[in-house]
């Protein structure tokens, strides 16, 4: 009897509108859910390219789980009060890594895909500059208004809520407001 191939677990769907507040436990479980999808789909990649800042934690944990080198690509598009205003996308023109060479199979990760612009532009840059034979994409959250659909996502958000991630509290603090350890 031949074994049936394992199917990847489906993305979770959440119909939250307004704000979706995410705890550290929920955040880490979503990364694990994404990792399980990649594993069960037998996704094969040589390096993980994490878009900074949002994709850094995702990329770091996936790099550890899959024992693959982490590559960092700088990207910035949010600014303003609490970094809630999406503006002009700025992509870095170099990748930070310690690999002898990149590819040929890459996994590009970010925390979320909102409009889709960042993943479209980052994918285009990688395809032009690095020329991988395979470029997979993965995110924790896929918003319903996105023009880009990644290959893997942990949670679908059809109502496009603002996601309050657990590390965002530091964006509102000044170092002088921190309490020393006792």
pLDDT digits (tens, 9 = 90+) for 48-83: 999 998 999 999 999 999 999 999 999 876 555 555
Residue 111 has pLDDT above 90, yes or no: yes
Residue 86 has pLDDT above 80, yes or no: no
Mean local confidence (pLDDT), 97-119: 92
**34-43, 86-95, 161-170 — which is least confidently predicted?**
86-95
| Global pTM value | 0.85
Per domain, the residue ranges of the chain are: 12-167
Report phi then psi at 166, rounded to 5. Answer: -65, -20
Question: Whole-number mean pLDDT of the chain?
Answer: 88
Cβ-contact 77, 90 below 8 angstroms:
yes
Mean local confidence (pLDDT), 30-58: 95
Q: Please report the pLDDT score of residue 4 as a whole number.
A: 45
Q: Please report the pLDDT score of residue 178 as a whole number.
A: 86
Q: Please report the pLDDT score of residue 124 as a whole number.
A: 94
* Number of residues in the chain: 182
Q: Please report the pLDDT score of residue 92 as a whole number.
A: 80
More confident residue, 165 or 3: 165
**16-20, 45-49, 105-109, 131-135 — which is least confidently predicted?**
16-20
Q: What CATH number labels 12-167?
A: 3.40.50.2020
Mean local confidence (pLDDT), 125-154: 96
Mean local confidence (pLDDT), 9-34: 90
With cut-offs at 50, 70 and 90, classify the pLDDT of residue 146: very high
The strand pairing partners of 106, in sequence order, are: 47, 135
């Amino acid at each position: 009897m031949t074994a049936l191939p394992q199917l990847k677990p489906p993305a979770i769907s959440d119909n939250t509108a307004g704000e979706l507040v995410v705890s550290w436990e929920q955040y880490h479980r979503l990364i694990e859910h994404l990792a399980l999808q990649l594993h069960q789909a037998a996704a094969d990649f040589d390096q993980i390219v994490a878009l900074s800042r949002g994709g850094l934690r995702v990329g770091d944990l996936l790099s550890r789980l899959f024992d693959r080198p982490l590559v960092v690509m700088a990207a910035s598009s949010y600014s303003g009060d609490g970094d809630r205003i999406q503006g002009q996308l700025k992509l870095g023109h170099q990748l930070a890594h310690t690999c002898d060479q990149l590819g040929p199979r890459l996994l590009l990760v970010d925390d979320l895909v909102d409009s889709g612009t960042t993943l479209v532009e980052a994918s285009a840059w990688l395809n032009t500059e690095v020329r991988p034979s395979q470029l997979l994409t993965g995110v924790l959250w896929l918003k319903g208004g996105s023009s880009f659909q990644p290959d893997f996502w942990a949670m679908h958000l059809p109502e496009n809520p603002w996601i309050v991630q657990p590390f965002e509290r530091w964006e509102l603090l000044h170092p002088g407001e921190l309490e020393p350890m006792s």
